[in-house]
Amino acid sequence: TAMGSNSLMWFRKGLRIHDNPALLHAAKDSTHLYPVFVIDPHFMAPDPAAFSPGSSKAGLNRIQFLLESLADLDSSLNGLGSRLLVFEGDPAEVIVRLLKEWNIEKLCFESDTEPYSQLRDGRVKDSASKSGIEVFSPVTHTLFDPADVIQKNGGKPPLSYQSFIKLVGQPPMPVELNLTRLPVIGTLGDCGVLSVPKIDELGYGDIKQEGFSPFRGGESEELKRLMKSLDDKEWVANFEKPKGDPSAFLKPATTVLSPYLKFGCLSSRYFYWCLQDVYGKVKRHTSPPVSLVGQLLWRDFFYTVAFGTPNFDRMEGNRICKQIPWKDDDKLLVAWREARTGYPWIDAIMVQLKSWGWMHHLARHSLACFLTRGDLFVHWEKGRDVFERLLIDSDWAINNGNWLWLSCSSFFYQYNRIYSPSSFGKKYDPNGNFVRHFLPILKDIPKEFIYEPWTAPLSVQRKAKCIIGKDYPKPVVAHDLASKECRRKMGEAYAVNRSTAGAKTSAEGVLQS
């Protein structure tokens, strides 16, 4: 294969054929194209000590979703006369080795702004450049390039949605793959290539423990799902995020495209322009921040702030995060994580997270507020870790950004506004259908007690075959008292933050004068 030019397309996120500039560039003028995915032990190595089956970073639902996305990508590549070459190991090492082994002259991959990816990709870029290999790494995971937005804002990320919106215009249009066949794969040599594995080949043990999510991975599934949403033009045009029903589970109130956006089975730009197309066909439509386009802009907002904020995923050393003396209480954390808080609304959402890997945005609000500033006063980083493992759409920038938000550590500061763990759900679902579905032990509790089952008379509990304190836990805290205490502690912490911030400013003033 000495003649002609060889290129390597390294898939990580961006698991799609549509709107894939890196793939297009890899195919252009190449004799051979090697499409590669590397299974990274950092994300995938089994961790028997984790609180549920999977790796330390990911639960089985997300791993399964990834494998389905890879299988789908492989089959699309087959349709284009190619295939997905799967490897296992430290991705930087594997890629550098393959560049040599296959005489690669052009390496293409989608840019990724997460700290872990930046380090990994930096190593590969350095090594490739030293060998004179062309590296093409376009920003196509987000609508805009976070670095551009930060530069436009004078070197700092915009810290409010409104200021973000003012900086960005329209994102680039998606690109089309104008090929019916990709360049063929060249000689492979003795390189250890695998095919896309099945989940039971990866060593996670008894995988039946966790119910699998109803959402299937892959670009083909995503396109079906997207088209279904877009077909209902009125729904798209009238979409208002805060008005959605978090308890709707048979037909969720939002698109459930987040897992596909996370892995890049769906291009956010393609989605954006599809929405603009629908808006063009209707009389009127909603606008950001509440519209569907507005949701995509939230995504880009968090990507931009996350990219431009050192230690974004921590309280300490994070300049946009209030320093709050959260409790280190493992008992409360475990009660929350194991869906044993005794508040059916909270526990049912946790069960949905564990079994589906997805919940409505306002349901996520409820869980996050309850764990942190609302009731338990547990550190947001602990809750973030649980979401990070269990969500299929688990996304470094968006997850951390929203935990900062919900814990009133950044972006949002009205700590007096606390969700009630019983009346918030009741407003949407007075009969408690959501609770009954995800917590079947409560299914025969009459509706007047379904959100506060400990208030049901013992005779009622007996009849419903659910004794509170035995079959289902009593509340871990009394919401009235706990939330009052939380407000007090938040008030104190904010006062300390104000005075230390003030002290810093005056010290700077002294230095300057």
Q: Residue 59's closest CA among 357, 265, 397?
A: 357
What are the strands, taking DSSP E only, across 320-375?
none
Residue 462 marked ligand-binding: no
- Least distance from C-beta 371 to ligand FAD, angstroms? 9
Under the criterion CB under 6 A, does residue 365 sit at the interface with ligand FAD?
yes
In the complex, the smallest distance separating the C-beta of residue 235 from ligand FAD, rounded to whole angstroms, is: 11
Q: How far is the CB of 108 from ligand FAD (least distance, A)?
A: 24
- Single out the residue of 12, 225, 241, 379 in contact with ligand FAD (rule: CB under 6 A): 241
Nearest alpha carbon to residue 1 among 28, 31, 23: 31
Q: Are strands 134-136 and 85-88 parallel, antiparallel or unpaired?
A: unpaired
Q: Does the annotation flag 323 for ligand binding? A: no
Collect all residues with Cβ–Cβ distance below 8 Å to 497 and sequence separation of at least 6.
322, 323
- Residue of 77, 368, 486, 490 interacting with ligand FAD (CB under 6 A): 368
* Residue with smaller CB distance to ligand FAD, 117 or 295: 295
Which 76-105 positions form the footprint of ligand FAD (CB under 6 A)?
none
Estimate to the nearest angstrom the gap between the alpha carbon of 474 and the chain centroid: 32
197 prior amide bond cis, ω within 30:
no
10 Å CB burial of residue 331 (0-12, 13-18, 19+) is: exposed
Report, in Å, the least distance between residue 409 CB and ligand FAD. 12
| Between 64 and 291, CB nearer to ligand FAD | 291
* 398 counts as binding ligand FAD under rule CB under 6 A: yes
Build a one-symbol-per-residue string for 188-227: x at contacts with ligand FAD by CB under 6 A, - elsewhere. ----------------------------------------
256 is known to lie in a ligand binding site: yes
Residue 351, number of CB atoms within 10 A of its CB: 18
DSSP character at residue 105? S
The verdict on whether residue 31 carries a ligand-binding annotation is no
Structure tokens at 403: 């935990």
Cβ neighbours for 182, distance < 8 A, ≥ 6 positions apart: 27, 33, 35, 77, 80, 81, 82
Q: Is 300 annotated as a binding residue?
A: yes
Which CB atom, from 16 or from 360, has the smaller least distance to ligand FAD?
Answer: 360
Q: How far is the CB of 208 from ligand FAD (least distance, A)?
A: 26
Report the residue count for the chain. Answer: 513
Instruction: Report 145-164 residues binding ligand FAD (CB under 6 A).
Output: none
Q: Token pair of 35, please? A: 């499409």
Asked if residues 60 and 54 have their Cβ atoms less than 8 Å apart, the reply is yes
- 441, 472 contact by CB (below 8 A): yes
The piece of 92-100, 318-326, 391-399, 468-476 that touches ligand FAD (CB under 6 A) is: 391-399
Q: Is 346 in the site for ligand FAD (CB under 6 A)?
A: no
Q: Does 295 bind ligand FAD (CB under 6 A)?
A: yes
Exactly one of 74, 105, 395, 429 binds ligand FAD (CB under 6 A); that residue is 395
239 is in an annotated binding site: no
Cβ closer to ligand FAD: 82 or 258? 258
The residue among 313, 301, 317 whose CA lies nearest residue 388 is 313
Question: Cα 19 to the chain's mean position, in Å?
Answer: 21
Identify which of 391, 393, 433 has the alpha carbon closest to the alpha carbon of residue 248.
433
From residue 242 to residue 281, the character string flagging contacts with ligand FAD as x (rule: CB under 6 A) and all else as - is ------------xxxxx--xx-------------------
Q: How far is CA 486 from the centre of its chain?
A: 28
- Residue 321 engages ligand FAD in binding (rule: CB under 6 A): no
Residues in contact with ligand FAD by CB under 6 A are 241, 254-258, 261-262, 295-296, 298-299, 302, 360-361, 364-365, 368, 387, 391, 393-395, 398-399, 402-403, 406
The binding site comprises 254-258, 295-302, 393-395
